[in-house]
Amino acid sequence: RACRKAEIVYVGDYHTLHQSQRSFLRILKSLINKNRGFAIGLELLHKRHQGVLDSYLAGKISEQNFLKKVGLRKHWVFDLWESFKPIFDFAKYHDIPLLAIDAAPKGADLQARDAATAKLLAQYLQDNADQKLFVFIGDLHIAPPHLPKEVQAVLRAAGLPKNDLILYQNSEAIYWKLAHRGLEHETEVV
């Protein structure tokens, strides 16, 4: 119910834990029939690749060409595509807009990254006032004094504050205990 009521839903991604992406997809699937008109923002891609992303979702370029053009393996030190591909497939099937929301220059600190992403998200929400926005981004970004605060500040300045919800998926302390015991790949949900 809280997800259905919120206009912005921030979901924390623990990038290297494939269950994190699966859980996000389960959230989207549970809401697709109850919430038409939403978009998904993904930290996975930089905003400069939005055109390539749009071409891929429209079926104008192949998956292989898409991955080559966005340089996913250069951008991320982890091989994340197999975990994220089902999210792309879901969005493509349901005609849900995907947004490349990593907006800061390479090497920017957390604050600068949040500020750049906040401007991009706020602009999208201003241009698409009737849409709900799911933001799938690393856990550090969704701490209340970070990205959510930055987005609200930009929206308030424009006279368009939105109600938001933050969903944390993963407990870092539990994950590292599992990793220490060599069980992080055998555990499905943290």
* pLDDT at residue number 43: 94
* pLDDT at residue number 111: 94
User: Burial of 44 by CB count in 10 Å (0-12 exposed, 13-18 middle, 19+ buried)?
Assistant: buried
| Per-residue tens of pLDDT for the chain, all 190 residues | 888 899 999 999 988 878 889 999 999 998 887 666 899 999 999 999 999 999 999 999 999 999 999 998 777 767 789 999 999 999 999 999 999 999 999 899 999 999 999 999 999 999 998 899 999 999 889 999 999 999 999 999 999 889 999 998 866 777 788 889 988 788 766 6
* pLDDT at residue number 129: 87
* pLDDT at residue number 75: 74
Own/partner pairs for 86-94, CB < 8 Å, 24+ apart?
Answer: 86/21, 86/22, 86/25, 87/21, 87/24, 87/25, 87/28, 87/40, 87/42, 87/136, 88/56, 88/57, 90/25, 90/28, 90/29, 91/40, 91/57, 92/57, 92/59, 94/32
* pLDDT at residue number 77: 67
* pLDDT at residue number 35: 60
Cα distances from 157 to residues 41, 117, 161, in angstroms, run 22, 16, 8
pTM, rounded to two decimals = 0.87
Q: Read off the pLDDT of residues 135-164 as tens digits, 9 standing for 90 and up.
A: 999 988 999 999 999 999 999 999 988 999
